[in-house]
Structure 1
Amino acid sequence: MKKIINSADTFVRDTMEGIICAYGDKVKLLHEDFQVLVSGYPAREGKVGVVTAGGSGHLPVFLGYVGKGLLDGCAVGEVFASPSAAKMADMIRACDKGRGVLCLYGNYNGDRFNFTMACEEVELEDIQTKMVLVKDDVASSDPEHADKRRGVAGMVYAFKIAGAAADKMMNLEEVAAVTAKALNNIRSMGAALSPCIVPKAGKPTFAIGEDEIEIGMGIHGEAGIEVRKMMTADEIAETLVGEILKDMPLKEGDQVSVMVNGLGGTPLEEQLIVYRKVHQILSHLRVRIRMPHIGEYATSMEMAGLSVTIFKLDQELLELLKAPAESPFYTNTNK
């Protein structure tokens, strides 16, 4: 195993220190244990707080979306491991400005369990909370069991919508409702060319042949729906988009945003080649693409591969997507 780290034990702390050294004018640490990051931008009193949490190893998710018009706070655990309920509760307290806090996170057991405990704890202090779970991965369950789906790169769009809604001074019920509406119109699917290596494990999360590609894998190395022989970029795009459109059909005149997301080890050129084919497929259907996102938005350490996310837009969601947003790792001013 070759990694540019100091040690597996200090990986998360060293990463957080690096973020603060680079972007300490925009974000700040809540504790000296380097597990909770909150926005350094002044928050208006009465604005709904928007927070998330999850394991490390996925930058820019989750820490990279703490900023203006996005998340107010983020708690992280060790690589691919949930932070504690106590850290989540501290984050919620720090991000409450008097109108409650939306907890927006991926559909994983540890995060669900710990966020539930954290919300119960702060509600004893009269801090109102709501939870919205991200479940955009079509490969992880069929439509009849969509509640079991994993949250993957589509959560970035959810962070954007929730943050914009909160900035518009919507109340907690309204922020939760419009975020849930967005997630009902977001679908993702990925493909991996290689596994990743968790520093403390020191070995690949799964095995795949040099001439193979895993379709529908999870960002923690969870098994996909099938292993195929390696395909061309166009074939990968057709496979991923085809599965998404089976689950969320589109028609002429629909508007969408498309994200082609690198998983940590895929050159931008390859992502753009895939986006080219996605654009061709949707243009053939006379579907209009708004504000495409191509790059690394939700990674899995050094995993080679990518995911495609399609976000079906109505006018309200489009306006929230277009609203200004800025964090150390994300801006929509060039979209």
Structure 2
Amino acid sequence: MKKLIRDPQTVVKDSLAGFAAAHPGLVRVQTDPDYVVRADAPVRGKVGLVSGGGSGHEPLHAGFVGYGMLDAAVPGAVFTSPTPDPILEATKAVDGGAGVLHIVKNYTGDVLNFETAAELAAAEDVQVESVVVDDDVAVKDSLYTAGRRGVAGTVLVEKIAGAAAERGDDLAAVAAVARKVNDRARSMGVALTAPVVPHAGVPSFDISDHEVEIGIGIHGEPGRERIEWEPVDGLVQRLMTPILEDLPFTSSDDVLLFVNGMGATPLVELYIVYDAAASILRERNIQVSRSLVGNFVTSLDMQGCSITLLQLDDELKALWDAPVETAALRWGR
């Protein structure tokens, strides 16, 4: 294993130290317990947004802390949920008097630990609502989940709910917007290689050079099927067909098309995937009016990608377009 790390046991803390040094105007990084908050937190009178989960998916979640998106992010160990204590401390740190929304990917550890933190926060008079993201159409249940997994659609929930909070919506309204995004978003991914978790030092699953895993999870969980390698247009069709059928999307729809890299796939390939997906949408007379391409919800050094479609309306488009200023996503300011 060759990785640019000091010690497999200190990867998260070392990365957080670098993140703090790189973005002092955007965030503050707290330690023991570890969490990241926007530099001006708490913002009085604004709903605070907190998300988090295992590390290894960067820039999710810390990269989305800042104006117009998250108020705090709580990182666990690599591919491991954070415990309730740092979630509670992050929740209190961003409470500006209007309550706090927890945005939680549907993994068992994340759901249980965020639930416990919300109960502890309520005991300290902090009002908390939770939204669980479950946009992955690949599998209903997996090693980590009861129900569908939360994957790249989480970024869209965080951005759009963050804009709703920034414009002054109350807690119930911000939670409703977040649920609306989750209800309208569908995702599916493909893996070409397995990630290498630093403390393990070996790939998290075995896959040959001539195989791909369709419907992979962001921790390397199995997908729907393992198949022989085929050209990119065929792979994109295998991802797009279940996405389009699940909502279902129709010819009257206006969508955001999000092509996400898993960490080791270069942009030159992601744009080829985007072109193939956009061609499929054109054939169905589905209008793509917003787009996002890049590595936003990764799986360490996995080669592969995911595709997310979000069914838009005027409100969601306006909230997506609203200004945002974070380490990983910024426009309009």
| TM-score, length basis structure 1 | 0.96
**Map of 2:29 onto structure 1:** 29
**Map of 1:151 onto structure 2:** 150
Q: Given the alignment of the two structures, is residue 9 of structure 1 paired with residue 31 of structure 2, yes or no?
A: no
Query: 2: CA distance between counterparts of 1:54 and 1:19?
Result: 17
**Map of 1:167 onto structure 2:** 166
Look up the equivalent residue of 2:264 and give its one-letter code.
G
Task: Extract unaligned runs of 5+ from structure 2.
Answer: none
1:311-322 map, 5 Å = 311-322=310-321
1:198 Cα deviation from its structure 2 partner: 0.7
Q: Given the alignment of the two structures, is residue 204 of structure 1 paired with residue 179 of structure 2, yes or no?
A: no
Query: 1: CA distance between counterparts of 2:278 and 2:198?
Result: 37
Query: 1: CA distance between counterparts of 2:43 and 2:35?
Result: 20
Question: Quick one: structure 1 residues 268 and 235, their matched pair in 2 at CA, closer, same or farther if it must change by over 3 Å?
Answer: same
1:294-333 deviation digits (Å, cap 9, x = unpaired): 1101000000000000000011111111111110111244
**Map of 2:51 onto structure 1:** 52
1:195 Cα deviation from its structure 2 partner: 0.3
1:34 Cα deviation from its structure 2 partner: 6.7
1:265-300 deviation digits (Å, cap 9, x = unpaired): 111111111110111111122211122101101000
**Map of 1:105 onto structure 2:** 104
**Map of 1:229 onto structure 2:** 228
Look up the equivalent residue of 2:193 and give its one-letter code.
S
State the SS of the aligned residue for 2:74: strand
Equivalent residues of 1:17, 1:34 under 8 A apart: no
Task: Extract unaligned runs of 5+ from structure 1.
Answer: none
**Map of 1:66 onto structure 2:** 65
Moved more, 63-72 or 43-52: 43-52
1:27 Cα deviation from its structure 2 partner: 0.5
**Map of 1:186 onto structure 2:** 185
Query: 1: CA distance between counterparts of 2:270 and 2:172?
Result: 37
Q: Given the alignment of the two structures, is residue 329 of structure 1 paired with residue 313 of structure 2, yes or no?
A: no
Equivalent residues of 2:259, 2:270 under 8 A apart: yes
Q: Given the alignment of the two structures, is residue 253 of structure 1 paired with residue 256 of structure 2, yes or no?
A: no
1:253 Cα deviation from its structure 2 partner: 3.0
1:42 Cα deviation from its structure 2 partner: 5.6
1:10-39 deviation digits (Å, cap 9, x = unpaired): 100110011111111111013x33720000
Moved more, 130-139 or 283-292: 283-292
Look up the equivalent residue of 2:209 and give its one-letter code.
E
1:125 Cα deviation from its structure 2 partner: 1.3
1:259-298 map, 5 Å = 259-298=258-297
Look up the equivalent residue of 1:186 and give its one-letter code.
A
Look up the equivalent residue of 1:104 and give its one-letter code.
I
Equivalent residues of 2:194, 2:303 under 8 A apart: yes
1:167-204 deviation digits (Å, cap 9, x = unpaired): 11111111101110111000000000000011111111
State the SS of the aligned residue for 1:290: strand
Question: Quick one: structure 1 residues 53 and 42, their matched pair in 2 at CA, closer, same or farther if it must change by over 3 Å?
Answer: closer
Question: Quick one: structure 1 residues 107 and 42, their matched pair in 2 at CA, closer, same or farther if it must change by over 3 Å?
Answer: closer
**Map of 1:125 onto structure 2:** 124
Moved more, 35-44 or 169-178: 35-44
1:252 Cα deviation from its structure 2 partner: 2.2
Equivalent residues of 1:197, 1:301 under 8 A apart: yes
Equivalent residues of 1:258, 1:311 under 8 A apart: yes
State the SS of the aligned residue for 1:188: strand
State the SS of the aligned residue for 1:68: coil
**Map of 2:89 onto structure 1:** 90
1:147 Cα deviation from its structure 2 partner: 6.8
Equivalent residues of 2:101, 2:130 under 8 A apart: yes
Equivalent residues of 1:103, 1:131 under 8 A apart: yes
Question: Quick one: structure 1 residues 253 and 147, their matched pair in 2 at CA, closer, same or farther if it must change by over 3 Å?
Answer: farther
Look up the equivalent residue of 1:69 and give its one-letter code.
G
Q: Please, what is the CA RMSD of the aligned residues? A: 1.5
Identity over aligned pairs, percent = 42
Look up the equivalent residue of 1:140 and give its one-letter code.
V
1:62 Cα deviation from its structure 2 partner: 1.1
Moved more, 42-51 or 319-328: 42-51
| TM-score, length basis structure 2 | 0.96
Query: 2: CA distance between counterparts of 1:206 and 1:298?
Result: 19
Equivalent residues of 1:135, 1:147 under 8 A apart: no
Question: Quick one: structure 1 residues 42 and 109, their matched pair in 2 at CA, closer, same or farther if it must change by over 3 Å?
Answer: closer
State the SS of the aligned residue for 2:290: coil
1:97-124 deviation digits (Å, cap 9, x = unpaired): 0010000010011111111111111101
1:148 Cα deviation from its structure 2 partner: 0.4
Query: 2: CA distance between counterparts of 1:44 and 1:115?
Result: 22
Q: Given the alignment of the two structures, is residue 307 of structure 1 paired with residue 306 of structure 2, yes or no?
A: yes
State the SS of the aligned residue for 1:86: helix
